Amino acid sequence: MYAARGVLSVHTEQGTSVVPANRVAWTPGGFTHYHQAHGDTDMRILFLTPAQARLVPTRPSVFTVSDLAREVLLTLTGPRSYDAGGHGTTAQNRLVRVLVDELDQAQEQPLQLPEPHDDRLRALAQLLYDEPADNTPLAELGHKIGASARTLSRLLRDELGLTFYQWRTQLRICHALVLLAEGHDTTHTAHACGWSNPSTFITAFTTLVGTTPGRYRSAN
């Protein structure tokens, strides 16, 4: 699934992938999923056979897209790319192999927000989903859901492989991508996602997404 413009969110049992423009969300076969478009979105979908998918991960992932991969994706998802039976031509199948090779070399993006399974983490996640700007310390959030900060930190580390700070930052950046795609400016987005200082937000956003919020918003 490719966002040529706008932002997509792809939800599976493993979590939510937020897919900005010029990123690819890969969902392997067998994963129940649904997606949502945010803002003015140009979404392209391409299916791979098991043989074609041999070099890509067996888990949901998000990748950067090279200039070559972008042009291949646009060509493969353009008008008359496949015949009425859904089969590509020999040339199109060669393009799919090029795309798979590009994805095999592509940098995976940390835009997959893992879905917690422990009930305490689920309750914590819901608090953050509802109020991404909430800067309440973990100990106080834990008090609301009946778990200590030490217990929640251990669960986050063991189940998701993240610290609370890393997890909350990823969640906020995912929320920021949606707000920017919907037309909100950098300052509003920073405050809505819990940053009192827009420059700190810009640094966090650039580190995770690879471009500044302003450039990202202009590109959409």
Residue among 14, 19, 13 at smallest CA distance from 1: 19
Task: Give domain limits for the chain.
Answer: 2-105, 116-219
Question: In degrees rounded to 5, what are phi and psi of residue 121?
Answer: -70, -35
The DSSP result for 28-91, as a single string, is -TT--EEEEEEEEEEEE-----TTGGGGS-SS-EEEE--HHHHHHHHHHTSTTSS-TTSPPPHH
Q: What is the CATH number of domain 116-219?
A: 1.10.10.60
Alpha-carbon gap, residue 195 to 167, rounded angstroms: 15
pLDDT for the residue numbered 92: 83
Write out the chain's pLDDT in tens, 220 residues: 888 887 888 888 778 888 887 788 888 888 888 888 877 788 888 888 888 888 788 888 888 888 999 999 999 887 655 544 445 578 888 888 999 898 888 877 767 788 888 999 999 999 999 999 999 999 999 999 999 999 999 999 999 889 999 999 989 998 998 888 888 999 999 999 999 999 999 999 998 888 899 887 776 6
